[in-house]
Amino acid sequence: MRVNRFSFLLFIAVFTAPLLSVCAGSSGRKADRGVSRPSPETLPDGEYEGSGRGYRGTIRVRVRIEASEIAEILITGSGEDPSVGGAALEELLELALMYQTTDLDAVSGATESSKGFLEAVEDAILSP
């Protein structure tokens, strides 16, 4: 069976496109946001407040730093739907504490809520 060049190139394009999108990962989000990731190592111990724009308005958080680590994140205000955006916020809160970063992917189905939460945590850490 003879395969023409066009069919071969189409085959390669179809099967390599998903690999390229996976390799881009969250680094594309960093560039889109134009913000370098904040680091709790540079902050003195204390509580910091921040806000971000979610799907249904402002999301407010309080971040407690202890021994150069994020010890606690409290969501102090949010208008997000509890079953969708609210669930995403809780999931991201756990991940941010576990991995000590805001460099996390958005929760599928709650992208704007996710971005708002991560923005709020970054705001707290960047503007003490």
Q: Name the pTM for this structure.
A: 0.69
> Domains, the chain, ranges and CATH?
32-126 (3.90.1010.20)
Instruction: Report the first-to-last Cα separation within the chain, whole angstroms.
Output: 67
Say what the pLDDT of residue 27 is: 38
Residue 102 CB partners (closer than 8 Å, separation 6+):
37, 38, 96, 118, 121, 122, 125
Say what the pLDDT of residue 126 is: 85
Residue 74 CB partners (closer than 8 Å, separation 6+):
61, 62, 63, 64
Per-residue DSSP letters for 100-111?
A: T-S--PPPTT-H
Is the distance from CB of 107 to CB of 92 less than 8 angstroms? yes
- Nearest alpha-carbon partner for 122 in 30, 55, 26, 23: 30
DSSP 3-state of 122: helix
For the chain, the average pLDDT equals 80
What is d(CA 32, CA 50) in angstroms, rounded to the nearest whole number? 20
- Render pLDDT for 44-88 as a digit per residue (tens, 0 to 9): 899 999 999 999 999 999 999 999 999 999 999 999 999 999 999
